[in-house]
A and B are shown apart, each in its own frame.
Chain A
C-alpha cells in the first residue's frame, strides 16, 4: 500500500533537491571573483568601461542577486535555461547538443564496468583462494588506486601514439562525412580508450562487491539446502546465488551514477570528448553562469532520476525491503 504513495512522494522530494541545487549553485557561482564581462574583455585584449557595462547589462548582471535567482527559476520552470553569455546560443540548445556525447560515454562506461566487473567478481568467487582469484583481486586493487587522468594519458601514449590501434582523441573523424553504419563504427573506435579508462575504477568496485556478495550469499542457509538437495552447482550459481548477490551491486551502481558524471569531466578533457563535462569546466573558467547552472541542473535531474529508478527497482525486486522514503 505504501508503494502507491512512494513515487509521487519521492518525485516531490526530488524536485526540492533539484531546486536546492540550483539556488545553492547560483549563489556559489556568483561568489567567484570576476564576471563573464571581465573575462571576455580580458580575452579580447581590450575593453573599456562602456564595453563592460554593456555586456553586464546584456547579461542582466547589474540587477540584484535575488532578482537574478528569481528570473532564473521562473525560466527553468518554463524550460528556458537562459542564454550562454559566451556562445550566444540558448543554454538548452548547447546542453542538448553536448549531452548525448556524455551519455554515450558514461553509459558505455557504466555498462562496460558493470559487465566486466560482475564477470570478474563471479570468476574470482568461483575460484576463491586460487591463483585466478588473487590475480583478479590484485588487478582490482590496482585499478581502484589508479588516477584516472594519468592512466588516460598513459593509454593514449601506448595504444594510440605508439601502437596506433585507436584514435587518440575526439568522438569522430571530422570531415570524413561518414554516415550510417560507418559512422557508428567510427564513433565506436573513438569510444574505446575513454570508456575503458573511465570504467577501470568502477570495474574494480563491481568486481570486489560482486565477489564479496557472491561469497556471502553462497554461505547462506538456502544455498546449503539447495546443495544438499543435489541441485547441480551451475544452476545453484545462476538461479539462486547470482540473483541475490547482484542486489547490492545494483544499489551501488545506482549510487555511482553521480560519480560517473563527475569522472566524465576528466575523461572529456583528456580525450577532447565534446560532452557536458568539458562544457561545465570551460563555462566555469569563463564565468558563463547560465551554462554552468544549466549543466548542474541537468546533472542533478539525471542523478535524482537514476537514484529514484534504483530505489524502485530495489523495492520491486525485493518487496521485503523498506526503502526509507
Chain B
C-alpha cells in the first residue's frame, strides 16, 4: 500500500539478489557445513489433541509427533522411497514379499532396544486395531507380517499390490513400542501422554494452549544427528498474529496453512526469508466440489458438467488462493504417481454452461441448492461464496447452509448435503488416497471421507481394482489414464485445484524441506546457521 523506505529497500534487495543468483548460482549456494546446536521455533495450528501418532492422525498430530516417532521409510520429492528405520529393503519379483532390513542399535526414548518385533506388533496388532487406513490395508492386502531375527521384517501380501511400498510413511505406519503397549488398553495407556518413539526428538514439556517443547534425543541412532538442540511448537490461534509472530522473530518457520496465502506473498519479500512449495508431494491434495449424486439436480451428469464450466479455476486460484496452487485437470495431482496431463478438462465458459443446461431441458430456477462450506477457515468461506455466485449465475437458487466441524462431519457422513467441498491427501499412489472417493465399495455411511456423494461406475471400480495389482508399470499407467478420463467425464466430483502450501523460513534455517513429506519429517538434518 505505501511506498516506505522499507519496501523500497526490500524491493531493491530482492532485485539485486535475483541478479546475483542468476549469475553466480554456485557461489550463492556454497553452504557452510552444518552447525550443531540451536533452537527451532515453529507454530502448530491448531494444537494437536495428542502426540500419540498411532492413535491420532490429524494434521497437527502428524506434524508435531513425527519428530518423536518414525516409520520404516520416508519418500523423496519425486516419491521414491528413502530409508528411515529400515536401512534397505527388497521386493520379490512376484511382488508378494517385502523384506526390510532395519538399522541396528536403535533405542526407544526410554532406553529399551528397538527391534523387528516392534514393527510386527505395530503393524499387526496396534495399528490394525486403532488406525482406519492401516486396518484396511492389513485386512485387505497383507497375508502376514513376521520378524526374521532382530533386524528383519517380512511382509507377505495376498496379491501383488504396487502401492504397498508407500505405506511406510510415519503417519500411515508409525512404529510404536511393543514393550509399552502390548496387552494394554491402547487408548487408555498412560504412556500416551509421554510418547515414546525412536525419533531424534523427545517431548520435554507440553503447556496446553501455549507450546510444545521438544528436546534432542542424545541416543538417536544416526550418529551426529540431530543438529538442533530443541524445537518449540507454539500455539497462536489467530492467523494475523501468526504472521506477526514470524515478522518479529518469535518463530522462524511458517508451515503451509499457518498464514493466509496473501500473507505469503507479502512475507516472502522479507530479506531474510525464503519460500518453497516443496514438501507436500506425498500428500498433494486435490480440492473438489462434492455434489450429492443422489439429489437433484446433481443426479444429472449434464448439470455437473455445466457446473464445471461455470467455475473459473484461474479466478479461484488468483483471488481465493492468492496464486498458491495449480488448476487441477482431474482427480490425480500432477505430483502424484500416474498423473496423465492429457486428460481433457472443463474450460471456464459460462455461456456454454447455460446452453448445456438449456439443451438438456434443465430449468435451474426450479432448484434451491444448499451449499455447505468446509468449516476449516476463511479460504473455504470465500470459495463457497464464489461457488454460490457462479451457481446463481447459472440460474440456480442457492443458500449457504453453514455448519461447524461437528455438524459438517455428521452431515457429510449421513449424506445429508446437496453440494459441499473437500480435499484429501493422495499419499503418492492413487490406490491409497485417490480411489476412496470413487469406488462403489466405499459408499458407506458414518464417516466423512468416504464416497459420500454416491458415485458408482462399474468400469471405474474394475480399473481401481486391477491397476494396483498389475505388475507392469506401463499397464498401470494405462489404467490410471483411463480412470482419469472417465472420472473427469462423469464429474464424479468437480476437481478444481491442486492445493499447494508455501513454507516460509528464515535463511539461517537449512535442510528444512528435504523430502516429499516436508515438515512432517523428523527434521534430524535441520541446522541453523549462527
Contacts and interface: CB of A to CB of B under 8 A. Distances in A.
A175 interface: yes
B404 interface: yes
Given A40-B58, A168-B241, A87 B208 contact: yes
A231 B409 CA distance: 72
Contact of B39 (A101, A171, A173, A175): A175
A43 B227 CA distance: 32
Interface stretch (A114-122, A241-249, A278-286): A278-286
Interface stretch (B103-111, B130-138, B302-310, B379-387): B130-138
Interface string A261-282: 0000000011110110011001
A52 interface: yes
B440 to A, nearest CB: 16
Interface string A145-159: 000000000001000
Interface stretch (A28-36, A218-226, A295-303): A28-36
B242 to A, nearest CB: 9
Nearest to A101: B209
Instruction: Tell me the dominant secondary structure on chain A's binding face.
Output: helix
Instruction: Tell me the dominant secondary structure on chain B's binding face.
Output: mixed
Interface in B205-251: 207-211, 213, 232, 234-238, 240-241, 244-245, 248, 250
A88 B193 contact: yes
B409 A45 contact: no
A94 B132 contact: no
Contacts of A47: 132, 447-449
Contacts of B397: none
Contact of B56 (A44, A97, A173): A44
A86 interface: yes
B41 interface: yes
A287 interface: yes
A98 B209 contact: yes
B141 interface: no
Residue of B207, B406, B412, B425 with most chain A CB atoms under a 10 A cut-off: B406
Nearest to B52: A88
B49 A38 contact: no
B409 A42 contact: yes
B238 A272 contact: yes
Given A33-B407, A51-B130, A173-B250, 11 more contacts: A34-B408, A41-B413, A41-B447, A43-B58, A45-B57, A49-B444, A51-B132, A87-B50, A168-B248, A174-B211, A269-B237
Contacts of A271: 238, 241
A63 to B, nearest CB: 17
A40 B133 CA distance: 15
Interface in B352-374: none
Contacts of A52: 446-447
A42 B135 CA distance: 17
A271 B403 CA distance: 25
B411 interface: yes
A14 interface: no
Given A41-B409, A41-B448, A175 B41 contact: yes
B193 A34 contact: no
B178 to A, nearest CB: 21
Contact of B448 (A42, A97, A101, A282): A42
Interface residues of A, number: 53
A41 B408 CA distance: 11
A51 B187 CA distance: 12
Interface in B158-186: none
B59 interface: yes
B424 interface: yes
A174 B234 contact: yes
Contacts, number: 156
Interface of B: 39, 41, 46, 49-50, 52, 56-59, 130, 132-133, 135-136, 187-188, 192-193, 207-211, 213, 232, 234-238, 240-241, 244-245, 248, 250, 403-413, 424-425, 444, 446-449
A97 B209 contact: yes
A45 B449 contact: yes
A134 B213 CA distance: 53
A156 B209 CA distance: 20
A46 B133 contact: yes
Contact of B403 (A33, A88, A278): A33
A40 B131 CA distance: 13
A107 interface: no
A54 interface: yes
A168 B209 contact: no
Interface string A171-213: 1011100000000000000000000000000000000000000
A41 B52 CA distance: 16
Interface in A226-254: none
B49 A88 contact: yes
A168 B132 contact: no
B254 to A, nearest CB: 15
A89 B193 contact: yes
A169 interface: yes
B49 A46 contact: no
Contacts of B135: 48, 50-51
A278 B237 contact: yes
10 contacts: A34-B408, A41-B447, A42-B405, A43-B59, A45-B58, A169-B241, A169-B245, A269-B237, A271-B241, A274-B208
A138 to B, nearest CB: 31
Given A45-B424, A272-B235, A34 B407 contact: yes
A21 interface: no
Contacts of A272: 235-238, 241
A141 interface: no
B406 A286 contact: yes
Nearest to A87: B49
A108 interface: no
A161 B244 contact: yes
A160 interface: yes
A285 B236 contact: no
A3 interface: no
A49 B58 contact: no
Nearest to A157: B240
A32 B406 contact: yes
Contacts of B248: 168
Interface string A94-107: 10011001000000
A40 to B, nearest CB: 7
B447 A48 contact: yes
A164 to B, nearest CB: 9
Interface in A5-60: 32-36, 38-52, 54, 58
A270 B238 CA distance: 7
A271 B235 CA distance: 12
A156 B449 CA distance: 39
A170 interface: yes
B9 to A, nearest CB: 18
Nearest to A55: B187
Given A35-B406, A169-B241, A50 B132 contact: yes
B407 A86 contact: no
A34 B49 contact: no
A170 B236 contact: yes
